């Protein structure tokens, strides 16, 4: 029986370099926000949870004592370690594992940053409790991820597009769902911002090596969507569109 973790590993085992080179993943206004917060706090040990191509790691390594690049896919972790060495970042460690079972001691991390990863996790609620466990009191968590929507017509469209493009997709959660995850785990919500992500359709599907028949299905869904959906996601003639992104900062109370 294939597990969701195995589906994720199969999807990403040969895509590490594509995510390293991805402009969408390498750029973003959130990097400035993350950097400012980490500089103010002088954190010693930070986890890049779901590191992917390692862009968070490369940005934050100069401002913290140690970064642990952590991902379910071994090839992603290895790529980040190689890139860190090439970039002269000597404070980067690597570890493979799932978000739902963090192999770290209680209260052993100062901060956790997770960017565009949580929508692949098998159980976000469980992962949240694990993050809470491994964080020190007053530790920070920063999440950056595409938001789902509380309006069914908008949410169904987005989730369908995501899973057809990438079968390892689990769910883009709404802001209300994120608030529930955070509060149930015991976190205090410190900051929440929204931003917009522009996605070029061609590079979006090429990065995931989406099969031609799936690409055709994606374009069919876009063409058949209502004007409400087309306007909300700003769907262009070439298939390019935009998504709403959440920037969320949580604090573990003392």
Condensed to tens digits (0 to 9), the pLDDT of residues 222-237 reads 999 999 999 999 999 9
Residue pLDDT, tens place only, 136-178: 999 999 999 999 999 999 999 999 999 999 999 999 999 999 9
Q: What pLDDT score was predicted for residue 39?
A: 83
Reply yes or no on whether the pLDDT at 37 is more than 70.
yes
% of the chain with per-residue pLDDT over 90: 82
Least confident of 17-21, 39-43, 63-67: 17-21
Euclidean distance between CA atoms 212 and 124, whole angstroms: 31
Q: What pLDDT score was predicted for residue 25?
A: 57
Element of type H or E holding 56:
helix 55-60
3-class secondary-structure state, position 173 = coil
pLDDT confidence bin for 40, thresholds 50/70/90: confident
Q: What is the DSSP string of 195-221?
A: EEEEE-HHHHHHHTT--HHHHHHHHHH
pLDDT confidence bin for 97, thresholds 50/70/90: very high
Strands (E), the chain: 45-49, 66-71, 92-96, 109-115, 135-146, 188-199, 241-251
pTM of the model: 0.90
Domains and CATH numbers, the chain: 4-145+170-195+245-251 (3.40.50.150)
Q: What pLDDT score was predicted for residue 28?
A: 80
DSSP assignment letter at 178: H
Euclidean distance between CA atoms 67 and 89, whole angstroms: 10
With contact defined as beta carbons under 8 Å apart, do 204 and 107 qualify? no
Q: What pLDDT score was predicted for residue 8?
A: 56
Q: What pLDDT score was predicted for residue 26?
A: 65
């Amino acid at each position: 029986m294939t597990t969701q973790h195995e589906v994720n590993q199969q999807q990403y085992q040969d895509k590490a370099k594509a995510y390293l080179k991805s402009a969408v993943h390498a750029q973003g206004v959130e990097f400035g926000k993350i950097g400012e917060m980490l500089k103010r706090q002088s954190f010693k040990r930070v986890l890049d949870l779901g590191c992917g191509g390692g862009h968070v790691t490369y940005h934050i390594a100069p401002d913290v004592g140690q970064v642990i690049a952590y991902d379910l896919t071994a090839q992603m972790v290895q790529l980040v370690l190689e890139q860190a060495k090439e970039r002269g970042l000597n404070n980067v460690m690597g570890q493979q594992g799932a978000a739902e079972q963090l192999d770290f001691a209680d209260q052993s991390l100062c901060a956790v940053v997770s960017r565009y990863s949580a929508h692949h996790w098998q159980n976000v609620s469980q992962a949240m409790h694990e993050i809470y466990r491994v964080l020190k009191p007053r530790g920070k968590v920063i999440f950056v991820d595409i938001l789902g929507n509380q309006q069914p017509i908008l949410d169904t469209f987005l989730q369908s597009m995501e899973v057809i493009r990438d079968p390892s997709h689990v769910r883009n959660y709404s802001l209300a769902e994120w608030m529930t995850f955070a509060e149930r785990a015991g976190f205090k919500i410190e900051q929440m911002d929204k931003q917009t992500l522009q996605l070029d359709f061609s590079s979006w599907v090429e990065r995931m090596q989406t099969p031609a028949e799936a690409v055709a299905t994606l374009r069919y869904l876009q063409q058949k969507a209502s004007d409400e959906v087309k306007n909300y996601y700003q769907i262009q003639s070439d298939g390019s569109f935009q998504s709403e992104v959440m920037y969320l900062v949580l604090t573990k109370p003392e």
